[in-house]
Amino acid sequence: MTYLWDDPANFADDALTGFCELHADLVRQVPGGAVRRGRPERPKVAVLPGGGSGHYPAFYGVIGPGLADGAVSGNLFTSPSAQDACSVARAAHSGAGVVFSYGNYAGDVMNFGLAADRLRSEGVEVEHVVVTDDIASAPAEESERRRGIAGDFTVFKLMGAAAEEGAELAEVVRIGRKTNGRTRTIGTAFAGCSFPGAAEPLFQVPDGHMGLGLGIHGEPGLRDVPLPSAAELAEDFVARVLAEKPDGAGGRVAVLLNGLGAVKHEELLVLWRHVAARLRDSGHVPVLPEVGELVTSLDMAGVSLTLTWLDDELERLWTAPAWTPAFRRGHITEVRGEETVDEPEAETVGYAPAADSSRRLAEHVVAALRRVETAVRDAEDELGAIDTVAGDGDHGRGMVRGVSAAVEAAERAQLAGAGAGDCLAAAGDGWADRAGGTSGVLWGAGLRAAGEVLGEHAGDAEIAAKAVDALATRIRELGGAEVGDKTLVDALEPFRAALLSATTSSLVEAWGEAATAADRAARDSARLVPRKGRARPLAERSVGTPDPGAVSFALITKVIGDYLTGAST
């Protein structure tokens, strides 16, 4: 259980603020995360880990000399938005480029990818190091599909040490990817964590069992097995990790024995004895092993073992000093340049003068979005309840956050004289920037694509079909889901198809029919099983419950259809 919070919706932000206040001598809060206080004396590569909150000390707990230059921090278990990543990168950039590093999750990959596009357009050199250490999440031959878990820490540490030594961007990236390529983690969970205010844990493990290979957000693992003794668990863990020893690797290894939250220090110490013995038996030498909490999952009861096979270069970087709130090794002195804090520039949005017709249509766009916001707010609890079955129950909250931001952004654009297309595109940007996560980036990018197609066109059936076509294409492109995967695509595709094949030239009629198709498809999604790797262990139970993303998509199209009907009479 999580016990302490004020507003559950602000829990992640409140924790970040508390952290930045506590460690004000080391870090400075910026929108979307935190950065080291003070600029480096000379330009240095900014190493920027990031991801959802709830994994402290990942990610902002490791900001400091010898490790990270900043961290991008999303909502609980939700990827930060592209805007979050841009904001942190701009604050941390000192002229030598930035490297984002994060676990391999769809939302993170999309949002950091979009951020990189924006930053490059501003002239910032940006690279990525994606961590894929979780051997339980995909077979070795598909290692690029693996998720990133506690191995994050080792990858960040070695990149941070390289950057601190003055390595250039390409070199820091090389070290990061090399470390990731030699890092393997196996984890297990004994009991689920729970979000602030949630009545139930995110997932459950059967009594007397553990979920071997379960992910740090409750993603499905290998299987449930009876609880082993500490000796048995160590033997199993070490055997699984050693089975994936990289070709040509030697015997010196960095080791993390990581507690996920509620497994306590004494338990980790009991386990460590056996892990160390099994490693020694197999000819391995643990180099400065770390036993403690490095990548947690709120109060999840679980533990993971990470090995990184070192060579001379990696060992030098692993043993290098670091000084951060959560991890301190050796002695390090930070040489800081003059303390100058760049105030973020107030965002001013300008639009090319739009035709009156398009500005009138923009009023409808904003009005329809407001209706959508009301409807989504009304449906928040219901969407959350549906999402609880197979997800983390925050779909309603995330949609409300996104739609509200979209309405605000569209209103601002409208006041600034934007036409309908620009308003819709602004709505998309607002949604993506505020909501984060996967649905945020998909809806955001989709709306922007639709807005760009709409442009200053009139709102007829033909252009609406084209705009929706662009929205659907962009969402498919970014999200990569197929029909039948139990995602919003299951409602999106029938909607697009119905609109594209409409035989009527009446937008109201065509939209109404398409919305009906989306609604039917959303309800039909109840019979589907979520695609592999996407959902949590409760996923199987979700058969019989529709996909929350499909349901909210159908709801939104219905509300817009109702608005169109009303507006046309």
Interaction site with a copy of itself (CB under 8 A): 1-6, 11-12, 14-19, 21-22, 53-54, 56-57, 61, 190-191, 196, 210, 227, 229-231, 233, 261-273, 276, 289, 291, 293, 296, 298-299, 301, 303, 328, 331
Q: Which are the catalytic amino acids?
A: 217
> Whole-angstrom Cα distance, residue 384 to residue 379?
8
CB of 247 to a copy of itself, least distance (A): 30
306: β partners? 185, 256
- Tokens coding 172: 């820091």
CB of 534 to a copy of itself, least distance (A): 25
Query: Toward a copy of itself, which CB reaches closer, 244 or 299?
Result: 299
> Whole-angstrom Cα distance, residue 300 to residue 218?
9
Q: Cα torsion at 510, 516, 518, 519 (round to 10°)?
A: 160
- Vertex 27 angle, CA 323 and 339, to 5°: 105
CB of 224 to a copy of itself, least distance (A): 14
CB of 200 to a copy of itself, least distance (A): 13
- Vertex 535 angle, CA 150 and 434, to 5°: 80
- In 3-state terms the chain splits into helix, strand, coil percentages (rounded to 5) of 50, 15, 35
- Dihedral sign for Cα atoms in the order 476, 477, 480, 483: positive
* Residue 558, φ and ψ in degrees, nearest 5: -65, -45
Query: Toward a copy of itself, which CB reaches closer, 3 or 347?
Result: 3
DSSP 174: H
Query: Toward a copy of itself, which CB reaches closer, 191 or 488?
Result: 191
Check: CB of residue 202 under 8 Å from CB of residue 194: yes
> Whole-angstrom Cα distance, residue 441 to residue 452?
16
Check: CB of residue 528 under 8 Å from CB of residue 484: yes
Residue (of 530, 558, 556, 534) closest to 544 by Cα position: 530
Query: Toward a copy of itself, which CB reaches closer, 50 or 548?
Result: 50
Check: CB of residue 99 under 8 Å from CB of residue 458: no
- Work out the angle between the directed axes of helices 461-479 and 106-121 (0-180°, nearest 10): 110
Q: Cα torsion at 141, 146, 151, 155 (round to 10°)?
A: 80
Query: Toward a copy of itself, which CB reaches closer, 254 or 399?
Result: 254
Query: Toward a copy of itself, which CB reaches closer, 180 or 194?
Result: 194
Query: Toward a copy of itself, which CB reaches closer, 269 or 355?
Result: 269
CB of 12 to a copy of itself, least distance (A): 7
> Whole-angstrom Cα distance, residue 546 to residue 487?
9
> Whole-angstrom Cα distance, residue 11 to residue 539?
26
> Whole-angstrom Cα distance, residue 465 to residue 500?
6
CB of 149 to a copy of itself, least distance (A): 17
CB of 291 to a copy of itself, least distance (A): 6
Query: Toward a copy of itself, which CB reaches closer, 241 or 471?
Result: 241
CB of 321 to a copy of itself, least distance (A): 10
